[in-house]
Amino acid sequence: MKSNNSSIELMENDLEKTRPVTPPLDLEDTKPEKPLPALENTVISKKTVFPQLRVAQRCDVGAVRERNEDACLLFTAESGGHFARAPMCLAVVADGMGGHENGHMASKSASRTAAEYVLRKIYLPLLGGADVPDPASVHAIMHTAVLTAHTAVSKQKNSDSGTTLTMTLILENQLYVAHVGDSRAYWLVEDHFEAITVDHSLVQRLQDEGKLTTEEAENYQYRNILLRALGQVEDLEVDTYQRELPAKGKLLLCSDGLCGLVKDERLGQILGLDADPHRIADLMVDAALVSGGYDNITAVVIDFVLQRP
């Protein structure tokens, strides 16, 4: 799926220009529950692997909707010198449920609440000199972050509001994912493009049960019905995943305004371009607009290369 610059130019000529983009949400200031410990000498192991990251996000209202009910948040942290720690990258995509008056408030609240929880439990302790938490602890934190966001959405004035939420965390050479709904996380490794998450939707269940083919699912009239969403059920199940990062690759987080209009094969082709993440994110949005742009469109692109400090 590699491409040269001429391929990029041809692709851009086939697509309309990108609409003005919505800036990422500003994360509210947070404070640790307890004072941070004094910073002590940090010893970096020769075995420590630092991912080199390039990131971008686009959150577009689309061609039809008047209001953007998507929300995305992208947080990266790097350090150097005596305080050199592995870069950290947290990304969140939330899609407020269409047809509900406060869908945009649900996605905003969920993304901020989940991100704040992860940063307070992982990033702030690291900033204070704590060790990197073990994978089991990270899983628990990601899981609880989504449940905390679920509670926040459920307590909103309009209790009928809801949202999807897909969140990824890169920490050292590990990728962690927490997921509810039909927003998606994909990755591209050695020209192999695949979805990490599985949709919590009626159409996905019918496909899993062999009652719908892939072709039938594309035109199924109830394809937008979700079986899981934040703010919609009392006891929420959260899917969590963990992958060890390969030497290099790319991640894509998106709302169904992108993956619902652009086929996976095309998404993989765009993600595989030899281009900056900002250009790739622009092309993702353009592809959805050319396909109709019937929904809000969100794309988060993360390019990673592992290296020794």
Cα separations in angstroms, 111 against 32, 40, 94, 180, 279: 19, 33, 6, 12, 24
Residues in CB range of 33: below 8 A, 6 or more apart:
120
User: What is the C-alpha separation between 6 and 304, in angstroms, rounded?
Assistant: 24
Strand partners, 187: 194, 251
Q: Is the pLDDT of residue 7 over 60?
A: no
pLDDT digits (tens, 9 = 90+) for 14-68: 444 444 444 444 434 444 444 433 333 333 344 566 889 999 999 999 999 999 9
Average pLDDT over residues 88-114: 90
pLDDT digits (tens, 9 = 90+) for 200-235: 999 999 999 999 998 898 889 888 899 999 999 889
Residues in CB range of 147: below 8 A, 6 or more apart:
236, 238
**What are the structural domains of the chain?**
5-28+43-307 (3.60.40.10)
pLDDT at 219: 84
DSSP symbols for 183-230: -EEEEEETTEEEESS---BHHHHHHHTTSS-HHHHHT-TTTT-BS--B
pLDDT at 27: 38
pLDDT at 100: 55
pLDDT digits (tens, 9 = 90+) for 249-260: 999 999 999 999
Residue-averaged pLDDT of the chain: 86
Residues in CB range of 172: below 8 A, 6 or more apart:
48, 49, 50, 51, 86, 132
pLDDT at 3: 44
DSSP letter assigned to residue 35: P
Amino acid letter, 16: E
